[in-house]
Amino acid sequence: MIDPFGRAVSYLRVSVTDRCDFRCVYCMSEDMNFLPKQDLLTLEELDRLCGVFIDKGVKKLRITGGEPLVRRDIMRLFRSLSTRLGGPLEELTLTTNGSQLAKFAPELADCGIKRINVSLDTLDPVKFKAITRWGDLDKVLGGISVAQKAGIAIKINAVALKGVNDGEVEEMIRWAHGNGMDMTFIEVMPMGDIEPDRFDQYWPLSQLRGQLLSTFTLDEIDYQTGGPARYVRVKETGGRVGFITPLTHNFCESCNRVRITCTGTLYMCLGQDDAADLRGPLRASQDNKVISEAIDRAILRKPKGHDFMIERDGSRPAVARHMSVTGG
Ligand code: SAM
Ligand code: SF4
């Protein structure tokens, strides 16, 4: 799958549910409306669709959501997709809030999952509650520990939030590196209506990086995970810190990703509205060629990039859908 700008698409992110057991303030409003369950692809349909993408050149598959581990019977999908590992599929992974990891990590490890991303924006239990509204920090930390014992490598992802976690990023780095984990920071993106003003949340990573320089020595390194993060090594801890900067530095020139939602809509860019329905072709025919052709037509429309912007009183989000729909 080669797009009009010569970029090969080899990375698929699949949202398996728009539901979640948290309500993070930058991601969802507290009274989110979720999709009716009958609109969702079944696990068998998700498996078949992923199979078509793998046959077309996808080497890395990330399961996300919403919270992927709250989807009922989700391990059936992991189990089935894992049979593709060792063949054309090089990596099967997930992004999770960690709340269910204590329960599922051993089975995930058994399915050949080697590394996962856990989203965690603070180590302060009171702030954690305020950010996630419904989350319990101890449960997440317990889940991380079970996953590590199961042999899964963990990268911690934190959204940089002005006035919320800006006073503890150094501590988070020390904690992550002290426990053998990479740490990545993400700029908040204007996706979906939420109650707070995004301008108040937005903390550019150029500023975060500047702040880190007063405590740490950051050495540029050429480490890649196939995602959009750029990494440095922290001399004092020996660990890696990644920066995902959709706003201050657009990384679209090297984009290798597309996303499917839990209803089978293919988004060629996280920050644009153009999309292609794959649920129709999936349900219309047992012939995977029909789906494959629909994917080919969509890849030819992959845009050059996103144009996220966050401005005071620019309260309309860049895209109307929430991150939990497209899958982060
Ligand atoms: N529930 C899982 C989790 O939190 O890891 C997976 C889905 S969540 C939508 C994926 C990632 O997107 C999380 O790291 C979350 O912090 C991030 N995210 C959600 N909304 C965001 C936004 N508006 N801007 C930047 N990152 C966002
Ligand atoms: Fe749920 Fe993840 Fe969104 Fe938080 S960021 S509300 S955990 S989907």
The confidence score (pLDDT) of residue 316 equals: 58
Q: Is residue 229 part of a domain?
A: yes
How many angstroms separate the CA atoms of 196 and 28, rounded? 10
Tell me which residue range forms the domain holding 291. Answer: 11-326
CA nearest ligand 1 atom 12, residue: 328
Is residue 5 situated within a structural domain?
A: no
Q: How confident is the model at residue 189 (pLDDT cuts 50, 70, 90)?
A: confident
pTM, full prediction: 0.94
pLDDT of residue 152: 98
Q: Check pocket membership of 192 for ligand 1, CB cut-off 6 A.
A: no
Residue at 241 is within a domain = yes
Q: Considering every ligand atom shown, identify the ligand nearest to the alpha carbon of residue 128 and give its number.
A: 2
- Please state, for a pLDDT cut of 90, what percent of the chain lies above it: 77
Reported as a pLDDT band with limits 50, 70 and 90, residue 198 is confident
- The reply to whether ligand 1 has any atom less than 6 angstroms from the CB of 245 is no
Domain total in the chain: 1
Atom of ligand 2 nearest to the CA of 66: 8
Q: Which ligand is nearest to the CA of 196?
A: 1
Our mutation pick for probing the ligand 2 site, out of 22, 29, 100, 261, counting the most ligand atoms within 8 A of Cβ, is: 22
pLDDT at 310: 62
User: Does a structural domain hold residue 70?
Assistant: yes
- Ligand 2 pocket test, pick from 15, 17, 35, 97 with the greatest ligand atom count within 8 Å of Cβ, gives 97
pLDDT in tens, 203-262: 999 999 999 999 999 999 999 888 889 999 999 999 999 999 888 777 788 889 999 999
Tell me the DSSP string of 194-247: -SS-HHHHB--HHHHHHHHHTT--EEE-----SSS-EEEEETTT--EEEEE-TT
Query: If you compute the radius of gyration of the chain from its CA atoms, what whole number of angstroms results?
Result: 19
Residue 2 domain flag: no
A 10 A CB-CB count for 32 gives 16
Q: Which atom of ligand 2 is nearest to the CA of 67?
A: 8
- Per the domain annotation, does 264 fall within a domain? yes
What is the pLDDT, as a whole number, of residue 311?
61
pLDDT of residue 317: 63
For residues 172 and 161, the answer to whether their CB atoms sit within 8 Å is: no
Mean pLDDT of 184-212: 86
**Structure confidence at residue 309 (pLDDT):** 67
Contacts of 33 (CB under 8 A, 6+ apart): none
Is residue 76 classed as helix, strand or coil in its secondary structure? helix
pLDDT at 327: 67
CATH code for the domain of 162: 3.20.20.70
- Please report whether residue 173 resides in a domain: yes
* Rounded CA separation 182/233 (Å): 10
Query: Could you tell me if residue 1 is inside a domain?
Result: no
Structure tokens at 32: 């989110």
What is the reported pLDDT for 278?
97
